[in-house]
Amino acid sequence: GESVGLHLPTLSVQEGDNSIINCAYSNSASDYFIWYKQESGKGPQFIIDIRSNMDKRQGQRVTVLLNKTVKHLSLQIAATQPGDSAVYFCAESLNSGGGADGLTFGKGTHLIIQP
């Protein structure tokens, strides 16, 4: 859903289920995309990245999908665990090489894992 003021979109899933977090990015020229996880009181933590010449990339329990046609990025988390509860941000960059220079972050989605 849309964020309103300070309220982040929230996704609530049962422990053990799969979750999908979506992100619409803004710049069609962006060449590099990252998903970050941020727990309360901590800085963002790198999860997975993808370059614009790919449409899918897999990590451990996570998969990122990129649809450049509609400027859409998604993060799939398999078999969610309580430790997955956090705010998840997508970020985009014009720098295809990677890194954290000039990243533009999305608004974030709060993922809640229900026991």
Partner 1 sequence: GAGVSQTPSNKVTEKGKYVELRCDPISGHTALYWYRQSLGQGPEFLIYFQGTGAADDSGLPNDRFFAVRPEGSVSTLKIQRTERGDSAVYLCASSRGRNTEAFFGQGTRLTVV
Q: Does 112 bind partner 1 (CB under 8 A)?
A: no
Point out which residues pair with 111 in neighbouring strands: 11, 86
Rank residues 16 and 99 by Cβ distance to partner 1 and give the closer one. 99
Q: Are 106 and 89 in contact (CB under 8 A)?
A: yes
Q: What is the DSSP letter of 84?
A: G
Q: Does 103 bind partner 1 (CB under 8 A)?
A: yes
32-91 residues near partner 1, rule: CB under 8 A: 41-46, 49, 89, 91
Nearest to 98 by CA among 21, 46, 55, 63: 46
Q: Does 7 bind partner 1 (CB under 8 A)?
A: yes
Count of residues interacting with partner 1 (CB under 8 A): 27
